[in-house]
Structure 1
Amino acid sequence: MDKERAGIQSVEVGFALLEGLTRSRGPLMLKDVAASAGMSAAKAHRYLVSFQRLG
């Protein structure tokens, strides 16, 4: 039996994006934020819009 528990993928993806942002020492372009999290710029943009809405 697999002991790894199922998680919420969108939370994991969002956290990867936040980790990429925290590693930065200055402003980043969208493509750089996306690359640091291993996702497309379009996907990163959707997450960043949600983060901005939530404050």
Structure 2
Amino acid sequence: ILEETAFYPEGGGQPADHGYLMFNKKRSKVVDVQKIGNIIIHVMKGSVPQE
């Protein structure tokens, strides 16, 4: 769970941002970003650390 994000969610005809997030010096690919209410959801490809 992130407190803030630099990724822009899909909306208003604009596609979502894609990129990478770093966790413990390993990166995970962000393949989609959605906004549901006030919550931003990052869809990741591959594994994400639990801590």
* TM-score after normalising by structure 2: 0.23
In proportion to residue count, which structure has more strand? 2
* TM-score after normalising by structure 1: 0.23
In proportion to residue count, which structure has more helix? 1
